[in-house]
Amino acid sequence: MSIPKAELHLHIEGTLEPELAFALAARNGIELPYATTGELRRAYSFSDLQSFLDLYYALMAVLRTEQDFADLADAYLARAAEQGVRHAEIFFDPQAHTVRGIGIGTVIEGLARALDSSEERHGISTRLIMCFLRDESAESAMEIFEAARPFFGRISAVGLDSAEVGNPPSKFREVYAAAAEAGLHRVAHAGEEGPPAYIWEALDLLGVERVDHGIRCMEDPALVERLVRDQVPLTVCPLSNVRLRCVDTLAEHPLPAMLDAGLLVTVNSDDPAYFGGYAGDNFDAVRDALPLDADALRTLARNSFRAAFLDDAVREAYLAEVEAYDFG
Ligand code: ADE
Ligand code: ZN
């Protein structure tokens, strides 16, 4: 079994494996523009973030009922448990579903159905993070935020995802202020394809507690200093970065340099059905491609629990599991 870890950067819609996509399409009477799962898998060749997002949003057509969302989340949790995930903070994109006429209650109640039995069935504690689509308007973000208000008891944080370049964090200042007011945690994707300036904005204008991706911070020494000083966690997704061509090869990934700089880095899977692996697969891939020894891998696992939105007693119990893990 892979080292115990928390997964903090995981889009539940990005866990839709081709087999489940076809099963849900059949259940809902939807025709997919692919004849077989093999043909669909062959479409998973991306040139950048947008080329992935186009397929990611198109395939969501198969998600229609509470049970669909429950089945999606349960399948992810089963896979994650096999790879040592003990705690998962799960993103979802409500606007991508409400635009198709699916109620936000259907999405959240469906996901909650799987999450409620996750500790018992899979040994994984969970949180839900509701993301705003940054290529939609600030007004649309505020509307979905208000629509989600009855469900705030189930939601731990807000996040910001989708097409980054041209959609800076500053666009979402108002809704992040409202989220802070409502007592929700705040995270945002920044510095995946976008420039270091977007990471500064996420910190200073949105008040984020974690930065998702953040790899482009390495271009700005003053920003690295700030992130190190405040120990702001970065949820890095190595296989995603290679598949979306943010990094040319895994061997050239900045992860070791980020650790050496003293950044609080974690390793995550982003959209595992599309990018070639779940959390443990990402750990294995960086171990094989990069100069990371057992101490570095243990640091990454420890960081994942340090960066999680957990109560301290629970955090300490998970950290003890990390320290006790034997790489063999
Ligand atoms: N939505 C799903 N995966 C994403 C990613 N890697 N970046 C931005 N938005 C996303
Ligand atoms: Zn992401």
Per-residue model confidence as pLDDT tens for the chain (328 residues): 899 999 999 999 999 999 999 999 999 999 999 999 999 999 999 999 999 999 999 999 999 999 999 999 999 999 999 999 999 999 999 999 999 999 999 999 999 999 999 999 999 999 999 999 999 999 999 999 999 999 999 999 999 999 999 999 999 999 999 999 999 999 999 999 999 999 999 999 999 999 999 999 999 999 999 999 999 999 999 999 999 999 999 999 999 999 999 999 999 999 999 999 999 999 999 999 999 999 999 999 999 999 999 999 999 999 999 999 999 8
Provide the pLDDT for residue 1: 84
Q: Whose CA is nearest to atom 9 of ligand 1?
A: 162
Does the beta carbon of 11 lie inside 6 Å of ligand 1?
Answer: yes
Let me know if residue 77 belongs to a domain. yes
Let me know if residue 326 belongs to a domain. no
User: Which one is catalytic: 66, 164, 192, 193?
Assistant: 192
Count of CB atoms situated within 10 Å of the CB of 288:
10
Let me know if residue 284 belongs to a domain. yes
Q: Residue 192 catalytic?
A: yes
Strands in 125-133's sheet, in edge-to-edge order, are: 5-11, 85-92, 125-133, 157-161, 185-190, 210-213, 233-236, 264-267
Let me know if residue 323 belongs to a domain. no
Full residue range of the structural domain in which residue 224 is found: 5-318
Let me know if residue 328 belongs to a domain. no
Does the beta carbon of 189 lie inside 6 Å of ligand 1?
Answer: yes
pTM: predicted TM-score of the whole model, two decimal places = 0.98
Number of domains in the chain: 1
CATH of the domain at 198: 3.20.20.140
Let me know if residue 327 belongs to a domain. no
Let me know if residue 301 belongs to a domain. yes
Distance in Å, CA 326 to ligand 2 centroid:
30
Residue 310: strand, helix, or coil = coil
